[in-house]
Amino acid sequence: MPTATTTTTYLLRHPTPTELTHIRTQHSTCWAGALSVSQYLTREDHIASTHLTRNGGMTQWVLVDAADADTGGHILASCEAIQKKAFVSHPPVDGEKRVPVEEVVAYGIGSVFTPPECRGKGYAKVMLAMLGERLKRRGGQRVGFSVLYSDIGKQFYAKLGWLPHKSSHIELPVRTPTPARLHPSRVQPLYHDDIAPLCALDTAALRTALSTRHPKTRVAFVPDYSTMHWHHSREEFIGACVRPDLGAPAIKGCITTCGTRWMMWGRDFSVAGPRLYVLRIVDFGPEEGRREDLAAMLSAAVEEAGRWGLGRVVVWSPAESVVGAARAVVDGVVGVERECESIPSLMMYGKGGSGEAEVEWVLNEKYAWC
């Protein structure tokens, strides 16, 4: 029997390989999109083997009735947790000019699923309440917080301790024919081998930024290579399945010719609304040329989305400079405040609250999603 956490009635444990296949087959109806069930199961194994998720980086969890534990137990609910690196900094004490930045473990919880025959009985609530406590103590490591991205609004998970944070984005429509690129000479494409060194620069700059004085606790997922590789491995697998004419996506973003601004993206082939997500925008450049550089990068993203037949480019938590540049690229840029889908929800572990009044979630961008 796998290691488990128990209450009087329920048991939270890891599924067996057979159970995991059964669970994934069930929730393929929700998340397979354009993939067949076989492709979906292969994709799940594929992304579980990335730098981020292998060797215990991703753990699967199921809730069963404790009374049936000896026979395995009927699965009442399931989910997964991905371990990530994160930074936490707290408000200054005694006039500190710089504050310590702590590197912690954080968890992204996803694929929360209840079998149809078990719905409406509160099993997901029980599972997540138990998991929230379990992750606080997991492996003897310092766990700073956990997050999930709610697709059922802001209240359900808030009642369990995961409080909603900023959930805004902009959408750039992709029309046919795709409009001519703006300032094409200002940017060049990014490929796989370019990602790791840029992530290292980004991570170092983030640590420095979080060390400055601030009245709130600040948290951020580290925008490291492992995280970007997870997103890119996911899109490469799906892209090769749904667009075999184009093969696996090779262009991972773009960078200005001077190398001070860059953008990383990922393709979402959802049947309901295929889109290109901007995972991360980095802006280390001077004020001079900012608008042109950002417009050139967004224009390159729109062109890439058009090449793949994706209907829009989406940028989470955009800076005002990005919004202004987007409006120079295409007409009809839409600002969205999400109320139901992909609501970033945070639970801090330790003293203090988890809401926006107490915590600033820095770089609340798509790269942090799981």
Residue-range domains of the chain with CATH: 4-165+340-368 (3.40.630.30), 169-337 (3.40.630.30)
Q: Are strands 75-89 and 217-221 parallel, antiparallel or unpaired?
A: antiparallel
**Per-residue H/E/C for 213-230:** CCCCEEEEECCCHHHHHH
Q: pLDDT, tens digit, for every residue of 347-359?
A: 999 888 999 999 9
Q: pLDDT, tens digit, for every residue of 255-300?
A: 999 999 999 999 999 988 999 999 999 999 999 999 999 999 999 9
User: How large a percentage of the chain has pLDDT more than 70?
Assistant: 96
Residues of the chain with pLDDT under 70: 1-8, 69-71, 139-140
Residue 30: per-residue pLDDT: 93
Environment class of 180 (CB within 10 Å of its CB; exposed 0-12, middle 13-18, buried 19+): exposed
Q: d(Cα 254, Cα 279) in Å, to the nearest integer?
A: 12
Residue 3: per-residue pLDDT: 40
- Residue 66: Cβ within 10 Å count: 16
Q: Which pair of structure tokens corresponds to residue 217?
A: 């606790």
Q: 292, 293, 304: which is closest to 178 by C-alpha?
A: 304
Amino acid present at 188: Q
Residue by residue, DSSP assigns 311-357 as -EEEEES--HHHHHHHHHH-S--EEEE-SSSSEEEEEE-SSS--STT
Find out whether 164 and 344 touch, Cβ atoms under 8 Å. yes
